[in-house]
Amino acid sequence: MGYNTDFDGELRFTKELTASQISKIQGFFNEDSREHSEWGSVDFYWINLELNEDCSGLRWNGSEKTYDMVNVVNFILEQMRKDDPDFGLEGEMIAQGEEIYDRWTLVIKDGIACEKQLSECTNIDDVLESQEFYDLMQEYRHCPLYDQKGTTEVFERIKDFIKIKVK
């Protein structure tokens, strides 16, 4: 049981980490907060993050049933800033829940992780013309509308629909 959310994208470190910082941050990965009373009261269970290939940032580790990613990222920021007040992240991770309408972006704003709903996007054309959106649509390329009308018309119809929904 439970709900699944997938994440795509990376949160890059604002400066290169030292070996001790890499070791510290890796110590949080795949940990269950319920087993760490020293962390205090936190609003998540698992830390489902990992370093990217070149250790320049964080990404989702692919675990099922990932919850509260915004709280997880803010926890990492808080913990890392205890030793280095200048520790920071930049970038975004696109989140897609099991329901098609459950799509949002985790963004870093003023040094804090936040959830940005699609309705909060200021330039929807940028979202719809992004590689991530294109990749998502490729998953649905066998839908009857695509087969009958072709990619461009499908994108235009989806774009029009979302524009109506975005205020």
Average of pLDDT values for 87-113? 90
Residues 103 and 135 both lie in one domain: no
Confidence class for position 97, pLDDT limits 50, 70, 90: confident
Residues 39 and 110 both lie in one domain: yes
Question: Residue 27's Cα: distance from chain center in Å?
Answer: 20
Number of neighbouring beta carbons within 10 Å of residue 139: 8
Residues 61 and 131 both lie in one domain: no
Provide φ and ψ at 156, rounded to 5°: -65, -40
Residues 12 and 89 both lie in one domain: yes
Residue-level pLDDT at 154: 61
Residues in the chain: 167
Range of the domain at 75: 5-120
Rg (CA), the chain: 18
Of 57 and 147, which is predicted with more confidence?
57
Residue-level pLDDT at 41: 87
Number of domains in the chain: 2
Confidence class for position 61, pLDDT limits 50, 70, 90: very high
**Percent of all residues in the chain with a pLDDT value above 90, rounded to a whole number:** 56
Residues 100 and 157 both lie in one domain: no
**Over the stretch 6-53, which tens digit does the pLDDT of each residue have?**
999 999 999 999 999 999 999 999 999 999 999 988 889 999 999 999
pTM listed for this prediction: 0.72
Residues 33 and 58 both lie in one domain: yes
Residues 126 and 167 both lie in one domain: yes
Residues 101 and 125 both lie in one domain: no
Residues 26 and 103 both lie in one domain: yes
Residues 164 and 138 both lie in one domain: yes
| Nearest alpha carbon to residue 47 among 71, 21, 82 | 71
